Structure 1
């Protein structure tokens, strides 16, 4: 569902290599965790996959479609939650959700059902008519998640999605991820919470200084590094 081949990205006229010739394959039905310290290249990689940043070299495909050749078709298949909930403060919550539903061509029936479900699940019903500028960070995060899932995309890409969520909403999001992959779809998310990644993910990749330094199932990675804890493996690899 997601395939990166030889993908690189530099800043400052090539002086800073944010992502350095990485290969990555994420299969249907997988929850894939993308781990790394701050500045490792996680968000840059995610922004290239969703089409917010161009890559310098390599090839990116989503659901078999090359993002360079057909970016709109790729974006139709993605639900994206960025690392910072920066949204249109002057809209109400319901105006924002309807705007996103219009962009993705979601029918009136489907949007009504999905909006009602998520508003109830995320406890947003009482605030959905208010301006987004009055929302807390957590409420904005829940609104963004709802907007990202409103068109039922086959690929969910989430950058630090648990940040700002209360325990109930974080639990619900993890449940939604599991349900999504049971339908044969894909979840790709970055997180700093290693316990969540260890418990939730089918596979993980660790990126450091722009390079993938470990990739596989938890069992494979623990076996390769002869450690029982993802935390210990992560610290040993990223401190080198």
Structure 2
């Protein structure tokens, strides 16, 4: 059993002639992506190349355009202009072929949480065209890798937030994709589970897989990623290896420089922690 989604019948503008050509050797090559919502520009001519085998972090403040960019790259959202290639294939000329190479981590509200963990993984594999026996075998391997064996027959709706994150990641990996796209994969995950997830992802990247994560946690990106792009107002402010982007600074400090830095904290007269004012009677 497989499930293909028909590409929308759209003819959106491609990058203008002045754009640098797509890089077909890259895991992901993006040129001139543009998207507006209700008159607001979410992604503004964004271009980026993500090398094969890299662990690539997309970082930026809330509303920077990270999730919108990932949705367009993975065939979930039609761009207003521009385009993207996945492993040398144009995403929107054959959206189903592009999607078969990608594992996109679903959000907890996008899964069938009335299934057990085992059922959900088997179902996810069969949607990708795998036979039930192969899907079941891989599901059991993933449940063991993510320390979910004891919860394999528990309905996912009864999982903790961290367990739900893990089963969502397992759903993205079951068909052994060449590219993993993960939006805030470590949010709500406890430190032990987070360490296990990191080990699995680092091993996957070491075998030639490419991992793209969006995150707000600079320390995590600096520690895990080989490459990073700082996105703000729908544009890439800096991109390259972590060392190149950090430019000799702590990555978080560099990030704050690129997106505008800290603003002066507002004074709230009543927020004083209860300490007596200087010279006040005790």
TM-score (norm 2): 0.79
Deviation at 1:117, TM superposition (A): 2.3
Residues of 2 paired with 1:39 and 1:26: CA distance? Answer: 22
From 176, 184, 187, the counterpart of 2:208: 184
Note if 1:115 corresponds to 2:136.
no
Residues of 1 paired with 2:42 and 2:236: CA distance? Answer: 12
From 80, 104, 123, the counterpart of 1:80: 104
1:102-128 residue CA offsets vs partner (Å, 9 max, x unmatched): 011224454334222221232212222
Runs of 5+ unmatched residues, structure 1: none
Q: Which residue of 1 aligns with 2:228?
A: 204
Q: Which residue of 2 aligns with 1:230?
A: 251
1:11-30 to 2 correspondence within 5 Å? 11-12=37-38, 15-30=39-54
2:153 alignment partner, SS class: coil
Q: Which moved more, 1:92-101 or 1:150-159?
A: 92-101
Residues of 1 paired with 2:60 and 2:34: CA distance? Answer: 17
Q: Which residue of 1 aligns with 2:148?
A: 124
Deviation at 1:147, TM superposition (A): 0.8
Contact 2:31 2:46 in 1 (8 A): yes
1:51-62 to 2 correspondence within 5 Å? 51-62=75-86
Larger radius of gyration: 2
1:69 alignment partner, SS class: coil
Runs of 5+ unmatched residues, structure 2: 1-26, 262-282
Q: Which residue of 2 aligns with 1:8?
A: 34
Change (3 A) 1:39 1:82: farther
Residues of 2 paired with 1:187 and 1:53: CA distance? Answer: 20
Residues of 2 paired with 1:153 and 1:59: CA distance? Answer: 21
Deviation at 1:82, TM superposition (A): 3.8
Q: Which moved more, 1:39-48 or 1:161-170?
A: 161-170
From 98, 103, 106, the counterpart of 2:127: 103
1:164-193 residue CA offsets vs partner (Å, 9 max, x unmatched): 212222112211222122222211111111
RMSD (Å) for aligned C-alpha atoms: 1.6
2:64 alignment partner, SS class: coil
Residues of 2 paired with 1:87 and 1:166: CA distance? Answer: 21
Q: Which residue of 2 aligns with 1:147?
A: 171
Residues of 1 paired with 2:134 and 2:191: CA distance? Answer: 28
Write 1 or 2 for the structure with the bigger share of helix: 1
Total equivalences in the alignment: 235
Residues of 2 paired with 1:158 and 1:125: CA distance? Answer: 23
1:76-104 residue CA offsets vs partner (Å, 9 max, x unmatched): 01111145553112222222111111011
Q: Which residue of 2 aligns with 1:168?
A: 192
